[in-house]
Structure 1
Amino acid sequence: MSVVVLGAGMHPWGKWGRPFIEYGVAAARDALADAGVAWTDVDYVAGADTIRNGYPGFVAGAAFARALGWSGARVASCYAACASGAHAIDLARTRILAGLSELALVVGADTTPKGFFSPLGGERADDPDWLRFRLLGATNPAYFALYARRRMALHGESPADFAAVKVKNAAAGALNPMARYRRAVTAAEVLASPMVADPLRLMDVCATSDGGAALVLASETYARRLGVTRPVRITAVSTVTPVYPNAVLELPDFATDSTLTAPVPERPFRAAIAHAAYEEAGLGPADLSLAEVYDLSTALELDWTEDLGLCPPGEAAGLLRAGETALGGRIPVNPSGGLASFGEAVPAQAIAQVCELTWQLRGTAGERQVEGARVGLAANQGLFGHGSAVIAVK
């Protein structure tokens, strides 16, 4: 079974410095208008939480419902790090599939501080995010760089390969009116930008951004009553957790005692996220028309390309160099421009990925349209074993 995406909406990404609720409400209103339904028709609201924006951020579902106008709709709020938006989608989708809701609104938005994200709430010795900052000095860019160094050691890639990812994504982002960075760049510019964590330079690492995204989801019955034909449908949502011991280094969970009893995993965590979605949808990598992945760094996009099964391990850079993952290529990766063009607004990001899938599958993505798009996958990974993959089909 599946649910229908009736509407998709976004607030442009940037550094606006305004309350996150403003971005979420703007995105929600755009999604409702796109769906052709009224806010008062919505019977369920799922909000993706933001931990940087006070109490309203921790009860995002209710915060958005209040701002839109109390209507009596049922509400839920959820936090799952970088996968928060997809988990909110999963809540709404599950409720619709259970027959408990017909029309749901999913919203995520964030207002972010300058610089990289740091742990909140003081000393938290039980938090691996805090521990890696405090004990290892491993900020996010530092462990992105560890992944990059691993690729270089295993596959012989160079900083020029990573720069090529930024060049590809910037070219797509330049065509996206919702992106924060809308300018094509050259490899020389990337390689000349300041070093952040060797081998990654400033233009290899995603920014922190303000932004918002929203989706209106409905049952197939509800969509038919509205006269919607051939809608975009969500056929799978994966939120699997890791299995240890890992075959591949999986920071930031840098230690575990579960190796005493856990089986050897069939595949690493990121690959497991995607393949669980494939299994649910009854599809495989060869069926994809496009993919939106969480390119926190340029090197991580290459990891995702392999983890999604788009090519064997070690061949992602070759796929990139051949133009296969660019707009016009065989399997475009991040045709939205990705985090390279948007920056990271954590609770909104996974929802924004599904907005892009929706527009691509509808054939309304404008200059960045993937020709003949029929199946799209969006994937990301967050702190503490959170991850998600969403498959949408037309």
Structure 2
Amino acid sequence: MSGTGEDVVVLGAGMHPWGKWGRGFVRYGTEAARAALADAGLEWTDIGSVVGADTVRGGYPGYVAGATFARALGWQGARVTSVYAACASGAQAIATARAQLLAGLTDTVLVVGADAAPKGFFAPAGGERPDDPDWQRFRLLGATNPAYFGLYARRRMAVYGDTPEDFARVKVKNAASGALNPYARYRAPVTAEEVAASPVVADPLRLLDICATSDGAAALVLCRAEYARRHAPAGVPSVWIRAVSTATPEYPRTALDLPDLATDSAAGVPEPARPFRAALAHAAYEEAGLGPGDMSLAEVYDLSTALELEWYEDLGFAPRGEGAKLLREGATERDGRIPVNPSGGLASFGEAVPAQAIAQVCELTWQLRGQAGDRQIAGARAGITANQGLFGHGSSVIAVR
């Protein structure tokens, strides 16, 4: 499987390890950028454009991340772009870079995302915004993100028969992979008994069911196909970006991604073709000309263990309500039919918001090149990423070799 004339190549991938390091996001992002440049075999002066994924926690430099990273690496005349799209910021940055390459504006683009996250739950940033449903959820209902995750988990239990033991299996699986990943924050295996013994945060979810907030960074060097033919390191398989989906919901209901809530047909609101997260994946498959059965692995946004089960269904790996069955069969293990989160996922990394969608593509790159070490998926040929953010943001990226 190879790219087409309309694809771009991932020439380099780099990360700064996730953790709580107590330093600024610029340092993390600069280190990840230098790692990606080294992986690509390029110098900083070879880069024609920088696209930075913004962080709302870094003050003004965080809102102009492209220029911030260009300055930190040393002004050299590259064009700069800064992108914000909540948890999809990194994928939007990849999409922007890809558009510049396909438009012929440059041969090479450096994409960087980095964050220094506060301790505890994320709070709404940017002041009072009563027209934002997520602000309303926090301020009017007191529903922090873990409370929101707990409601989804409880619903899966009521509608599909999922159990806390199923949720624990997700953590056990992802922690086993994270233990093999040098960039992960949490690098120790976890047992189901340890999950069950951890404190309840938002029933039925326990502390080990929910991802942390982290510092971290990821970067990619993308280039045009002809540039890759001239400059790609010898002996390294080419990885192609075949699709980037950043679709928005269709005719959203109160909850953007529940497939079977009643719609007020009297109000003339059409029934959406598919729920939001499934629509993200569908658009990526359609653009790539591929389907769920073509995927060798997936990196999904496991804010909670229960949410990972929903992604199995949204990505088309299992029928609606059968995500837990897929897990119980072992299909999503590293040696299963469709490995999910071989990086360790957010369960092992935590959230570093502008970096995480980029980090997912870093993992696809290393897997498709055969460079993932002990967590390598044998014969990986294609992979998909997926995440969902606030206010209708989300993304899905497909890469192939």
- Alignment TM-score > 0.5, same fold: yes
Question: Does structure 1 residue 58 correspond to structure 2 residue 63?
Answer: yes
Match of 1:264 among 243, 250, 271: 271
The 5-angstrom pairing of residues 1-394 of structure 1 reads: 1-227=6-232, 230-246=237-253, 250=257, 260=267, 262-394=269-401
The separation in 2 between residues aligned to 1:276 and 1:151, in whole angstroms, is 25
The separation in 2 between residues aligned to 1:259 and 1:88, in whole angstroms, is 40
**Aligned-pair distance for 1:128?**
2.0
Change in Cα spacing, 1:221 to 1:163, as seen in structure 2 (3 Å) is: same
Contact 1:244–1:258 (CA under 8 A) maintained in structure 2: no
The separation in 1 between residues aligned to 2:293 and 2:316, in whole angstroms, is 8
The separation in 1 between residues aligned to 2:302 and 2:91, in whole angstroms, is 16
**Aligned-pair distance for 1:260?**
4.3
The separation in 2 between residues aligned to 1:61 and 1:258, in whole angstroms, is 45
**Aligned-pair distance for 1:248?**
6.5
The separation in 2 between residues aligned to 1:217 and 1:376, in whole angstroms, is 17
**Aligned-pair distance for 1:126?**
1.8
The secondary structure found in structure 1 opposite 2:112 is strand
Contact 1:247–1:267 (CA under 8 A) maintained in structure 2: no
5+ residue gaps, structure 2, are 1-5
Contact 1:4–1:219 (CA under 8 A) maintained in structure 2: yes
Contact 1:248–1:268 (CA under 8 A) maintained in structure 2: no
* Equivalent residues, number: 391
The secondary structure found in structure 1 opposite 2:153 is helix
**Aligned-pair distance for 1:321?**
1.2
The separation in 2 between residues aligned to 1:199 and 1:287, in whole angstroms, is 34
Contact 2:257–2:277 (CA under 8 A) maintained in structure 1: no
The separation in 1 between residues aligned to 2:211 and 2:138, in whole angstroms, is 18
The separation in 1 between residues aligned to 2:294 and 2:134, in whole angstroms, is 36
Q: Deviations over 1:320-360 (max 9, x none)?
A: 11111011111100000000000000000000000000000
The separation in 2 between residues aligned to 1:258 and 1:140, in whole angstroms, is 30
The secondary structure found in structure 1 opposite 2:21 is coil
Matched to 1:68, the amino acid is L
The separation in 1 between residues aligned to 2:167 and 2:109, in whole angstroms, is 39
Q: Deviations over 1:267-320 (max 9, x none)?
A: 100000001000000000000000000000000000001100001111111111
The separation in 1 between residues aligned to 2:264 and 2:169, in whole angstroms, is 39
Matched to 2:372, the amino acid is A
The separation in 2 between residues aligned to 1:248 and 1:125, in whole angstroms, is 17
TM-score, normalisation: structure 1: 0.96
Contact 1:244–1:259 (CA under 8 A) maintained in structure 2: no
5+ residue gaps, structure 1, are none
Contact 1:141–1:197 (CA under 8 A) maintained in structure 2: yes
Q: Deviations over 1:51-76 (max 9, x none)?
A: 01100000000000000000110000
Matched to 1:175, the amino acid is L
The secondary structure found in structure 2 opposite 1:45 is strand
- Percent identical pairs in the alignment equals 74
The separation in 2 between residues aligned to 1:155 and 1:269, in whole angstroms, is 19
Matched to 2:115, the amino acid is D
The secondary structure found in structure 1 opposite 2:391 is coil
Q: Deviations over 1:360-388 (max 9, x none)?
A: 00000000000000000011000000010
The separation in 1 between residues aligned to 2:228 and 2:250, in whole angstroms, is 38
The secondary structure found in structure 2 opposite 1:211 is strand
Q: Which range moved further: 119-128 or 10-19?
A: 119-128
The separation in 2 between residues aligned to 1:16 and 1:92, in whole angstroms, is 29
Q: Which range moved further: 121-130 or 78-87?
A: 121-130
Contact 1:245–1:259 (CA under 8 A) maintained in structure 2: no
Q: Deviations over 1:224-273 (max 9, x none)?
A: 1115574100010000000124496549xx9x999945421111000000
Contact 1:246–1:264 (CA under 8 A) maintained in structure 2: no
Contact 2:66–2:80 (CA under 8 A) maintained in structure 1: yes
Change in Cα spacing, 1:154 to 1:32, as seen in structure 2 (3 Å) is: same
Change in Cα spacing, 1:247 to 1:279, as seen in structure 2 (3 Å) is: farther
**Aligned-pair distance for 1:121?**
3.0
The separation in 2 between residues aligned to 1:126 and 1:258, in whole angstroms, is 25
What stretches of structure 1 move > 6 A for 4+ residues in a row? 256-259
RMSD: 1.8
Matched to 2:300, the amino acid is V
Contact 1:243–1:262 (CA under 8 A) maintained in structure 2: no
The separation in 2 between residues aligned to 1:145 and 1:39, in whole angstroms, is 45
